[in-house]
Copies of this chain bind each other. A is one copy, B any other.
Amino acid sequence: MTVELSDRGLLLGDGLFETLLWRDGRLVLFEAHARRMQAGCEALGLPAPDAGELRRAAEAAVREAGLVDSRAAVRLTWTAGPGGRGLDRPETMRPRLFATAAPAPSSQTPVVLTTVSVRRNEGSPASRLKTLAYLDNVLARAEARAAGADEALILNNRGEVACAAAANLFWVWDGGLFTPALSCGVLDGIMRAAVMRAAQGLGLAVAEVAVERSTLDRAEGLFLTNSLIGVREVALLDGAPIQRSPVTARLRDALADVV
């Protein structure tokens, strides 16, 4: 499958994507992913895909990759489609949908996290969306790898904790659960929302907050979330060991059907 060279997704990052987990012969939390992509289209001013179209493309990609009976990562890519020269979108947009599937990672090894220099752009709506303009995430991850870590802790331009390169972030403190507010420049993660719901179901208080990096030094547990890894503990942050919290294991158990 190929993409036209005039595609605005390629030329300008003008588009969105979703990464879904395929498990036990089904797309996990499909409706939430479809709604997020549709909401993202509205935020970016793009025509939105139909949920049925997304589902058919995702399922076809799993079949074509021979992964129907496996655990698979499905990527749905929705580009603004072909356009002329420059930034202005054409009067009639013809977005394009692409779907691919690959074997899904399933490691539960705790993560080594390091704070990177690349900052999250809290001043752009794109920082709350899963857009094709993901270069800052690529650079953050590369910087973390070069420092011997698995993942990057990204702060925003105000110095507030935002997220990892490919995950949302939660921490436990004083019996409650905390996560950066979306206004910090944070992707509105599907697993982030699922964790917040699960925590409430367990009677845990959850707060969305804006905090500086030093707040994490007091964490009694720190974990990353996304649709593929589910809930994954952080073992080390900037070289310092992080406590393991029983809350993390309880949340993982509560989410067993979606991770």
- What is the interface of chain A, defined by CB distance below 8 A to chain B? 1-14, 17, 44-45, 73, 75, 77, 79, 84-89, 98, 100, 102, 118-126, 131-139, 141-142, 145, 156-158, 165-166
Query: In the complex the two chains form, is A118's CB within 8 Å of B122's CB?
Result: no
Which B residues touch A9, using CB under 8 A? 10
* Docked CA distance A135–B3 (Å): 18
Q: Which residues of B contact A166 (CB under 8 A)?
A: 86-87
A123 to chain B, nearest CB (A): 3
Majority SS of interface residues in chain A?
mixed
In contact, A137 and B12 (Cβ under 8 angstroms): yes
A141 to B44, CA, bound (A): 12
Residue pair B136, A121 in contact (C-beta under 8 Å): yes
**Which residues of B sit under 8 angstroms from A84, Cβ to Cβ?**
102
Distance of A84 Cα from B100 Cα, bound (Å): 11
Residue of B nearest to A75 (CB): B85
A85 touches B98 (CB 8 A): no
The contact of A121 among B79, B124, B125, by CB within 8 Å, is B124
Nearest chain-B residue to A3 (Cβ)?
Answer: B3
Known: A5-B100, A45-B142. 7 other contacts (CB 8 A): A2-B3, A3-B10, A10-B10, A11-B77, A12-B135, A118-B124, A119-B121
Of B85, B87, B123, which one neighbours A157 at CB under 8 angstroms?
Answer: B123
**Complex Cα gap A141–B139 (Å):** 25
